[in-house]
Amino acid sequence: MGDNPATSALIDPATLERLVRERVDAVLDERLEAKLAEINERRTPSMTIISTKGTLDWAYPPFILASTAAALGWNVAIFFTFYGLELLKKDLGDLRVSPLGNPAMPMKMPFGPDWFKSIRWNMPNALQAVIPGFEAFATTMMKQTIHNKGVAQVEELRSACVEADVKLIGCQMTVDLFGYAHQDFIPEVKEYVGAASFLPMAREADVTLFI
């Protein structure tokens, strides 16, 4: 007599339990992955920027990046430390370009015929250092170029960041180091903290930039 087909098709309890468990685990994993993907999709991206420089040319990157990210709906915070604290002053009219510290900076004239404006005036640092008034000249040329190209002023970009709720944070250690007072800066600076308070924010951010 042959084996009963119904009997041959039976699965022992241990095997059945294992198969059921594997199937349940697979379904749970799929649901968990879908839920995590949904949470990540709804989560607001965040960015922190560490601004360390206070010259006219270096004022643009942090404010441009911050205002752009805020316009995309990101949560943004800028930590101004050392010379970057200059960018929080009420009056930004004293910001200057420092070509001496930027040897790759292209010096182009913002006036004259096109062929003249296209010339790249590369000047050695040693020469820049001994020319009286070179920094003031470079600053004037930069400001004129910014005006000619229709680029927003630093004050306008900073105001755009304030309007977009970018969190402007001053470094309290730098304030103490340089003898500043909180009254020297715009009132929109709501916090003055140290590195120990800022670093946890940077750790949790999706993007952190050092400028």
The pLDDT tens digits of the residues spanning 44-102 come to 899 999 999 998 889 999 999 999 999 999 999 999 999 999 999 998 878 887 765 56
Q: At the top level of CATH, which class does the domain 46-210 belong to?
A: alpha beta
Distance CA 141, CA 138 (A): 5
Answer yes or no: is pLDDT of 117 > 60: no
Reported as a pLDDT band with limits 50, 70 and 90, residue 192 is: very high
Residue whose structure tokens are 């924010």:
201
Distance CA 113, CA 14 (A): 88
pLDDT digits (tens, 9 = 90+) for 3-52: 555 544 567 777 777 777 877 777 777 777 766 666 556 778 999 999 99
Contact, 94 vs 126, CB < 8 A?
Answer: no
- Please, which residues have CB within 8 angstroms of residue 90's CB and are 6 or more apart in sequence? 184, 185, 186
Distance CA 51, CA 84 (A): 5
pTM: predicted TM-score of the whole model, two decimal places: 0.69
Q: Which two tokens stand for residue 113?
A: 């015929």
